Each structure stands twice: as structure tokens, then as C-alpha cells.
A and B are shown apart, each in its own frame.
Chain A
Amino acid sequence: MEKEKDDRVIGLVVNGRLYEIRIEPRMTLLEVLRDRLELTGTKSSCGVGSCGACTVLIDGKPVSACLTLAITVEGKNILTIEGLVKGTSLNPIQKAFIEHGAIQCGFCTPGMVMSAKALLDRNPRPTVSEIKEALEGNLCRCTGYIKIIDAVLAAAEEMKTAGDR
């Protein structure tokens, strides 16, 4: 088997769009999203997968982009916070976060919303306990979490009645 050269062009599918970019294998997905693709919604915080600020969805599952080498997710479906907006309409989860005061400094918010999205996609009617479990990898230093949980419950309700994802 040939040993690969160090940098190469890969195809990353982000928010439904294919980006062909030349990267080095050592670049994390977080670095590529923020610095190359200028999708700065995903935040860089602890850098070791403990805080959840860099949460993105890969094939529908929440992962920490800071611990993912971009080269390993070529061809997979990557969804970032920017991918939730449809035209100028915010996703029901984003709206609920705003309406319920679930955002203070906003730094944890993209990661929280992505984890919440993954939860609601697989479980449209979560209990409070299930929400807490799904969000346990997302830390917030501002809100004390209550409003965040309220927002996720409200979003679930809204999405249930609207029949919309």
C-alpha cells in the first residue's frame, strides 16, 4: 500500500454543500470549519472534548470537532449551526433558545443547539431527564441550564405541533 503524501485535497460535505479543500492531516475539523471554511459558529473552547462548545453533527450524531481530524470525515454528512438556518428562518430550536432566555454570552449556544437537534431528531418527545442526559456534554457558565432545558422542551412542543423538523 502506498504511503499517503502529507497534504492533500479532500471533499468535506458541510451543511449539504461539498467543499474541496487542500488540508494537512494534522488539521482538526474545528480548525477547518472555522479557519478555512469561515464557519465560525462552531466554537473553540477547551480543546479536549470536555465542554461541548465545538459540537457538530456527523451523520446525525453529536461529536466534538476539536478531537476530530478533518481528513477522517471526508464524505460524511457534517452539520454545523450554520446549517440549521433555512434562508432567513431560524430553526425552532434556535427560536426557542431566544424566546426562553436560554442565551447569555452565547458561547455555548451553538453546541447546545446542535446537541438538542440531535436529541429531537431521534426523540421528538424527550423528558427533562432525557434532555439533561443529551446535553450533559455541553457546559454553560452563564445560565444555570434551567432556561436551556425549558427551551428544548418548548422547541419539542413547537416541532410536534408544526410537524416540522
Chain B
Amino acid sequence: MFKPFHYVEPKTLEEAIQVLSELGTKAKVLAGGTDLLVMMKRKVIYPEYIVCIKNIRELNYIKFDEESGFKIGALSTHSEIADSSIIRSKFDLLATACKKVGTPQIRNMGTIGGNICQAGPSQDTIPSLLALNAKLKLVGSGGERVIPIDRFFIAPFETVLEGKELLTEIQIPTPPLQSGGCYKWITKKSMVDETLVGVAVYIVADSFAEICGEIRIGLSSVAPTPFRARKAEEYLRGKKIDLLLLEQVAKVVSEETKPRSLADYRRKMTGVLLKRAVEESWEKIHRTVR
């Protein structure tokens, strides 16, 4: 059984901010609970207060319009995102990533906000969000701010969230025409197939769908935090994708990684997965053009 804690359940976002600003670092936020409760069971943390935001409905939504793009409430569960037809049609890499998380049970409980804020090196949703250039809306008693997701992570399990702030929304711009992406991964041998290397790619092609215009590459589990492989992106930007180029960029991306364990294998597989992800993203672009 857990050690006792004080339990608070704010009913609205405003109440939650109020409570968190009073409690600060004494409190841990409970959403789906699939990371928090596991850490408590493993005796990694002993929160004094648990602030449960799970039932705040105003934070659970998936909205899209062509002008402002996607706005996903932080309490949207992995299942809701994986099953969302609008996300699958516009950004299936994010749906794929959410479908990969844990087990069906965990996906029904765990939230995308929780996955991001857990900020582990191998979180599944983050590479896709990096590749999609997502922004995060953080709300605190001092107001709100929107930051690009690649500025969110400081160190393993550490983010820029000041104890009194809450992640409320994930914003993703509307996909341009002639664009496509995908998420590729390999797993550790564990009960829930934790990601060993995760590579997400998003490409915006030129108008003839021949040159790689904009490209973004999100990597997980090959460095202390998930990150954008900017050297590899630079290498591919503005170029025509061919096999030789892919072989070369595989080496470039491998050198950008800083894996801890199984380093040689992870470096090599980052290159392999990047090649596959670029090829598949490119195929998707061509399919929509035809």
C-alpha cells in the first residue's frame, strides 16, 4: 500500500492552478496515473500532496481547424488520440506513437500531457511531437506561456515546468500540402516493450514533390532527453532523396546521438530507422500527390 498522502481534487483548471500555486513542489499532479503511481510503487517518490486533475473535462479535447491547426487538451488519453479519425488522417505518426504506448489498459488511462511531462528519455509521443513542431501551452498563477516542445526538456525526467504550472494544451500547426511523416522504433525486451530507439520524421516536399523542402527529425531513447536531430535535418534539407543520400545521413544522425547503454547498436539503429522513416514519409507524400 502507498504511504499516506493528502489528496486534492480541483474541479476546474482555475482551481487546479490555485491549488498548485499554494502547494508548489509539495504536490504531484495526477492525471492518468500510469507513470506517477508506478514511481510511487517503486518508491522513487513519496508525494506529500496529490492533486488529481483527471476529471477536469475542460482539458480533454481534440480540436482542429485549417487555420489554427490542432489543439489537443493535455488530458486526452493515448487511446483517444490513436483512435481519432482527424488525427489519423492529418498526422498519423502521432496516432501511431500513441497506439504504441504501453498496453490497451494503459492507453485508456494515460494522457498525452502526462507522457510529455514525465519527460523520460524514451517517451513515445515526444519524437512525433518534435517532428510536428508542436508547441506546449503552460498555465500558472502568473499567466500562460506557449513554448516549442524542443525547449521543454532539461534532463531526464526534468522539464521547464515550474512546480506551479500545468501543461494544458498541445498545439500543432495545420499540415501543409505535400507533407507526410512517420514514426519508427525498436524496443527493449520488457513487458511493455519500452522503446530502445525512436525516430519520427516529418517532411514537407516542394511543389513537384521531388525535393525535400522542410524536414524535422525527432529522436528518443538515444540521449538524455528526446531531441531534434538538426545536423541530419540540415543534411537533407533542399535535397533530392536518393539511396546514397540516405546512407550518408544515416551516419550523420548516428553521430548526433549520445546513447548510454547498448551505444553501438543504438547509434546504428538510429541510422537504419531514419532511412526507413524518410522513405516511408516520402512514399506517403507521393501517394497523396497522385
Contacts and interface: CB of A to CB of B under 8 A. Distances in A.
Interface in A1-17: 1, 3-4, 6
Contacts of A6: 4, 6-7
A4 B4 contact: no
Given A4-B6, A4-B8, A67-B33, A137 B102 contact: yes
B260 interface: no
A72 B104 contact: no
Contacts of B1: 26-27, 31
Given A27-B1, A72-B30, A137-B102, A64 B8 contact: no
A25 interface: yes
A39 interface: no
B86 interface: no
A68 to B, nearest CB: 7
Contacts of A62: 104-105, 108
B45 interface: no
Q: How large is the interface on A (under 10, 10 to 19, 20 to 34, 35 or more residues)?
A: 35 or more
B155 interface: no
Nearest to B3: A26
Given A49-B102, A52-B105, A67 B37 contact: yes
A139 B191 contact: yes
Most central of B34, B37, B79 by chain A CB within 10 Å = B37
Contact of B41 (A4, A48, A69, A72): A48
Q: How large is the interface on B (under 10, 10 to 19, 20 to 34, 35 or more residues)?
A: 20 to 34
A26 B269 CA distance: 42
Contact of B10 (A1, A46, A49): A1
B147 interface: no
Nearest to B40: A26
B106 A49 contact: yes
B38 A1 contact: no
A121 to B, nearest CB: 13
Contacts of B55: 72
A4 B19 CA distance: 12
B7 A68 contact: no
A6 B49 CA distance: 10
Given A62-B108, A68-B109, A49 B103 contact: yes
A51 B191 contact: yes
B236 interface: no
Most central of B55, B103, B106, B192 by chain A CB within 10 Å = B103
A1 B23 CA distance: 12
B5 A49 contact: no
A46 B102 CA distance: 14
A1 B1 CA distance: 28
A61 interface: yes
6 contacts: A3-B6, A6-B4, A47-B41, A50-B103, A64-B109, A137-B106
Interface of B: 1-10, 15, 18-19, 30, 33-34, 37-38, 41-42, 50, 52, 54-55, 79, 102-106, 108-109, 191-192
